[in-house]
Amino acid sequence: MGEGEKKGGEKALKIRLLSAASESLLPLTWLVSRGEKEFQAKEAGLLEKDTQENLTILQTYFQQDRDEVLDNLLAFVCAIWQKSMKTIA
């Protein structure tokens, strides 16, 4: 067998081995892809839930702060009104 035939045979063997390896990886590639999609879906669900919880917390804080600001504003207006009444009287 000549040197060229030997290299050609090795090349054909490498091609067959790579092809076989590639075919054997297809199910594994599919499983990995499926797992990644499931993970992304779960992650998106958790992120959505987390976001909703954070929004609820922010709305609660906003309402509490709003009530506190209105209370302070009312107290300020009442104090000014009382001072103005003393000045007029």
Burial class (CB in 10 A: 0-12, 13-18, 19+), 6: exposed
Residue 32 CA neighbour count, 13 Å, CB half: 5
Full pLDDT tens readout for the chain, 89 residues: 556 677 778 888 888 888 887 788 778 788 888 888 898 888 888 888 888 998 899 899 888 899 999 999 999 999 988 888 877 76
- The one-letter code for the residue type at 33 is S
Angle at 67 between CA 63 and CA 73, to 5 degrees: 140
pLDDT computed for residue 2 by the predictor: 59
Q: Can you give the pTM of this predicted structure?
A: 0.43
Tell whether the torsion through CA atoms of 7, 12, 13 and 17 is positive or negative. positive
How many residues are given for the chain? Answer: 89
Report DSSP state, residue 2.
Answer: -
